[in-house]
Chains A and B, each alone.
Chain A
Amino acid sequence: MRLAVIESIRDAFFYDRKNSFVYVLDPRTKMLYVACIMVSVFLVSDWIRLTLILLAQLPLAIMGKYSRKVLNLLRGLSIFIIFLICFNIIVTYIVEGFRLELSSLMNTIPAMIIRVIAALMALSFLISTTSPWELLQGLSKLHVNYTYLYPFIIAYRFIPIMFNEMKSIYDAQRSRGLELEKGNIIQKARKLIPIIIPTIVCALLRARDLAEAMEARGFGYSKRRTFYKPIRFKLMDLVFIVAYIVFLIIVIGFGIKLCI
């Protein structure tokens, strides 16, 4: 059960190449797009306009063929979202002087849920349609040194591998009679040691292998590096980003008019 949750989240954030124009967009465009969405969902607070922002992302999800991933992600995060809602209700209850007004809750809770979903969709768009290598190049063009970025790529690549390895380790220890379910909290914590130590040892061995393989292929040879497929800001990028910015400005601006 717990594993299924983690797996659905991992799946949602994993790059998977498909044929669609969203894969051809410049990573810088996509990063800018995500930044715009993020800023917008925090500027806007009523659920109607948040829904508009959410709906505006749907065409991308469908064209980028990652809508299934977003659904998986939501399913995985549902517990987290419910927790967030409860937390919010409690906080409002305390802040409002220990009283609950149903009408204000009816406004804030849907808004909050939609905000979270909209933000996650944007992030999922960036990560599941852009390979880490493209992100790396995008950031390099913004003068970030590539040696600082590679650790993230490696983490991104090796976390699923280590996760699988941890499952194998858990199976090996359960076959030797380890029962995590039994005992109180302290006993349970102690029972994690047979899983944690082999995980760390194996991760270190992997890290050694990887470091050697990278070193042997010239990683860190120079402060700069070239890219075999240089990214270019194309007309399509311009149309894409202008369209979304105009849309977002209208949505936000519409709200300002409402306020006045």
Chain B
Amino acid sequence: MTNNSSEYAVILEGVTYYYPGSKNPTIENVNLKVRRGEFIIIAGPSGGGKSTLCRILLGLIPHYYGGRLYGKVVVEGIDVVRSNMRELVGKVGMVFQIPENQMVNLLVEEEIAFGPENLLLPPEEINERISWALNTLRINHLRQRLTYTLSGGEAQKVALASVLALKPQILILDEPLANLDPLSAKEFLEILHSFWRENNVTVILIEHRLADAIRYAQRIIVLDKSIIAEGEPRKLVEEGVLEKHGIEIPSISKASKLLGINKVPLTINEALPVYSKLIKYNNCNPHFNIEGENNKPDPIIIVENLWYTYPSGEHALRGVNLRIHRGEFIAIVGANGAGKTTLIKHFNGLLKPTKGRVIVFGMDTRKHSIAELSRYVGIVFQNPLHQFFEETVEKEVMFTVKNMKVKNGEEKVKEILKELKIYHLRDKSPHEISAGEQRRLAIASILVYEPEVIVLDEPTAGLDYRLKHELLNIIIDKMLRKDKTVVMVSHDMEFLANAPLNRIIVMEKGKVILSGHPREVLYRVNELNLAKLTQPQIPELITSLKADKCLRPLNIDELLNILLSR
């Protein structure tokens, strides 16, 4: 026992757990040993029990949640079930998904002091720990900031600092990157990794977007109710285990596998030596064409010198010009707070221009009501939970049908639910269904009245790889094929690289700084970085090889086409 507990940070043996009142276990027969000082990633589909596992390691299950827990749980030598939560406090630290929901205090230093204060440490010691945590994460400049003014990336680092101040031996992070823009996500991982390297802690990272995280992991565990695969990252990638379970692997690894490259690279750097031999780029004529700004006549949405100023005096939009044509598929990208959501709220009149004008299907948005404009432009917002209030899935869609006075409403509802494959759930509560189903329901409740333009705000947030793929198919089959216009706000770069976009519009500080074909935009590294974005992996590879003057593949298929056609 003593030997085991000194070697392992976590021991789970035959762990099964039922939430109170639930007949089905959320996790079943989980066996897992994590060595001290190990860096592991737990991946798995949405709803596979990853958050439940975190709660068990923290002791929140069973001490806080109740329910039935079977099996043995030993964390840092402490039997979680038999002890109380107090013994675990400070030994296991956890960073949660949404930064703003885990902050209690107003000032950053107060927030970091919160844990040590609870544990009755003396003031001198607490101050030492505050400085240490801030220095370690290189965020000393945030010390006196108010927590509600932090950006997502800053807030998540403060959340990590406030956990580190307890000097935990085990650090658990539950999808800490989900709400960050790509550049902040990358930075957060780098900081986390260098902290792990310099301090003897165990890191358990829950993440299903592996593209950036995989290089740091010593071991990956795939959890879908029980552990269905585990092992060293490269081995799992090479054996195809991750893809089989619907987990996204780095595009560069996937492409290399398809090309039959022996030692599959996990990062761009690893891939460079191999690909520099495959891709020759001397004196070529460009093989790609960049259709410039769309100059077709009769745009359906015209945005002219649009300014929007919030009552607080903050300029959210500063002179945006934009024309959208029928049948286009457009992505609007940019950092959090760049004005993307403010812009799309002008398309159906939720916001009215402070200066300039917006014309939608010939109507000046200032002179028409939201209800009128919404008939033409349907917006699906980021969080599906912001719209569910009815008892059943079917009624939820009926709500829009009634408001919009759609003819043959009931038939339309049936039809759309069937098309989006949620008809079998029609009598369930919108809160009972899974994240992917909720997203489809939110889309269904807009698609049902057949607006000409569909605007999707961060549609991939919280979706795993498989669900994203499904979403893309819905966009193509149910919208683009029916000659609808689709505008998507997103910073999911890999998703954008795979979508058949006509244009990408990059926003920064309320302005459009770049607009053009994906082949143009996804290769403009400077502008992307300015907007806190990164290149998708395939364009990054080509740019690193300095071949972007000749070839500009956006995704794996295009890269393979180029390489195999030679």
Least CB separation from A200: chain B residue? B389
Stretch at the interface among A26-34, A47-55, A87-95, A218-226: A218-226
Please measure, in the bound complex, the distance between the C-alpha atom of A160 and the C-alpha atom of B388, giving whole angstroms: 22
Give the contacts of A58-115 with B (CB-CB under 8 A): none
For residue B117, CB closer than 8 A to chain A, the reply is: yes
Q: How far is the CA of A158 from the CA of B378 in the complex (A)?
A: 30
Contact (Cβ within 8 A) A215 B60: yes
Query: Which B residues are in CB contact (< 8 Å) with A150?
Result: 104
Contact between B60 and A173 (Cβ–Cβ < 8 Å)? no
Which of B90, B102, B404 makes the CB contact (< 8 A) with A213? B102
Contact B115 A218, beta carbon cutoff 8 Å: yes
Q: Does A230 contact B (CB under 8 A)?
A: yes
A226 to B126, CA, bound (A): 9
Would you give the 0/1 interface string for A13-44, flagging 1 where the beta carbon is closer than 8 Å to chain B?
00111000000000000000000000000000
> 7 closest A-B pairs (Cβ-Cβ)?
A177-B403, A213-B102, A218-B118, A197-B389, A217-B115, A209-B101, A228-B113
B94 neighbours in A (Cβ, 8 Å) = 212-213, 216
Given A17-B107, A17-B144, A215-B85, the answer on whether A228 and B385 have CB atoms closer than 8 Å is no
Are B96's CB and A209's CB within 8 A? Answer: yes
Contact of B107 among A133, A171, A198 (CB under 8 A): A133
Q: Are A201 and B104 in contact (CB under 8 A)?
A: no
Check if B118 sits within 8 Å of A198, measured CB to CB. Answer: no
Q: Is the pair A228, B117 in contact by a Cβ cutoff of 8 Å?
A: yes
CA distance A177 to B370 in the complex (A): 8
Which chain B residues (415-432) contact chain A, with CB distance < 8 Å?
A: 431
A215 to B387, CA, bound (A): 30
B261 within 8 A of A: no
Closest to A176 in B: B400
A210 to B381 alpha-carbon distance, docked (Å): 24
Chain B's closest residue to A16 (CB) is B146
Contact B311 A7 (CB under 8 A): yes
Instruction: Say if the beta carbon of A4 comes within 8 Å of chain B.
Output: yes
Asked if B60 and A216 make an inter-chain contact with CB atoms under 8 angstroms apart, the answer reads yes
Identify which of A176, A214, A224, A227 contacts B403 (C-beta below 8 A).
Answer: A176
Residues of chain A within 8 A (CB-CB) of B97 are 209
A154 close to B (CB within 8 Å): yes
**A250 interface residue per 8 A CB criterion:** no
For B377, the closest partner residue in chain A by CB is A175
Q: Is the CB of B85 within 8 A of A227?
A: no
B146 pairs with A17, CB closer than 8 A = yes
State the Cβ distance, B215 to closest chain A Cβ, in Å: 28
Q: Does A226 contact B385, Cβ atoms closer than 8 Å?
A: no
Closest chain-B Cβ to A149's Cβ sits at a distance in Å of 12
B336 CB to closest chain A CB (Å) equals: 14
* In the complex, chain A residues 125-178 whose Cβ is within 8 Å of any chain B Cβ: 131-133, 150, 153-154, 156-157, 160-161, 165, 168-169, 171-178
Bound-complex Cα distance A160 to B147 (A): 13
Within 8 Å CB of B89, what residues of A? 216-218, 221
Q: Is B184 an interface residue (CB 8 A)?
A: no
- Please provide the chain B residues from 73 to 92 with a CB less than 8 Å away from any CB of chain A in the complex: 85-86, 89-90, 92
Question: In the complex, how many angstroms separate the beta carbon of A3 from the nearest chain B beta carbon?
Answer: 8
Q: Contact size class for A?
A: 35 or more
Q: List 12 A-B contacts (CB under 8 A).
A: A153-B104, A157-B105, A176-B445, A193-B389, A194-B387, A198-B388, A198-B389, A209-B98, A212-B58, A215-B58, A215-B60, A230-B123
Does B534 belong to the interface (CB within 8 Å)? no
Cβ-neighbour of A226 out of B106, B120, B163, B374 (below 8 A): B120
CA distance A243 to B312 in the complex (A): 36
Contacts A174-B350, A176-B446; A131 near B123 (Cβ below 8 A): no
Cβ < 8 Å to A, chain B residues 105-132: 105-107, 109-110, 113-123, 126-127, 130
Question: Interface residues of A: mostly helix, strand, loop or mixed?
Answer: helix
The complex places the Cα of A238 from the Cα of B92 at a distance, in Å, of 44
B399 at the interface (CB under 8 A from A): yes
Is the CB of A206 closer than 8 A to any CB of chain B? Answer: yes
B356 CB to nearest chain A CB (Å):
21
Please state if A217 and B120 are interface contacts (CB–CB under 8 Å). Answer: no
B399 → A minimal CB distance (Å): 7
Asked if A219 and B311 make an inter-chain contact with CB atoms under 8 angstroms apart, the answer reads: no
Take A176-B446, A213-B102 as given contacts and tell me if A169 and B60 are in contact as well, using a CB distance cutoff of 8 Å: no
The answer for the CA separation of A119 and B103 in the assembled complex, in Å, is 31
Asked whether A256 is an interface residue with its Cβ less than 8 Å from the other chain, the reply is: no
**Cα distance A196–B431 in the bound complex, in angstroms:** 15
Bound state CA distance, A215 and B63, in angstroms?
Answer: 11
Q: How far does the Cβ of A213 sit from chain B's closest Cβ, in whole Å? A: 4
Pick the residue among A3, A15, A174, A218 that contacts B370 (CB under 8 A).
Answer: A174
Query: A171–B104 Cα gap in the complex (Å)?
Result: 27
List residues 357-380 of chain B with CB under 8 A from any CB of chain A: 369-371, 374, 378-379
CA distance A168 to B446 in the complex (A): 16
Residues of B within 8 A of A176 (CB): 374, 387, 399-400, 403-404, 445-446
| Pairwise interchain contact A209-B106, C-beta atoms closer than 8 A | no
Q: Chain B's nearest CB lies how many Å from the CB of A78? A: 16
> What residues of chain B lie closer than 8 Å to A219, measured between beta carbons?
114, 118
Distance (Å) between the CB of A219 and the closest chain B CB?
6
Instruction: List, in ascending order, chain B residues with CB within 8 A of A154's CB.
Output: 104
A132 to B147 CA separation, bound complex (whole angstroms): 13
Q: Does B55 contact A (CB under 8 A)?
A: yes
Residues in B neighbouring A3, C-beta threshold 8 A:
311
Query: For the complex, what is the distance from the CA of A245 to the CA of B56, rounded to whole Å?
Result: 56
B92 nearest CB across to chain A (Å): 7
What chain A residues lie within 8 Å of B404 (beta carbons)?
Answer: 176-177
* A116 CB to nearest B CB, Å: 24
Chain A residues with CB under 8 Å of B121's CB are 226
Q: How far is the CB of B317 from chain A (nearest CB, A)?
A: 16
Kindly provide the distance from the CB of B455 to the nearest chain A CB, expressed in whole angstroms. Answer: 9
Q: A201-B385, A217-B166, A228-B116 are in contact. Are A212 and B60 (CB under 8 A)?
A: yes
Whether the Cβ atoms of B117 and A171 lie closer than 8 Å is no
Q: Are B350's CB and A175's CB within 8 A?
A: yes
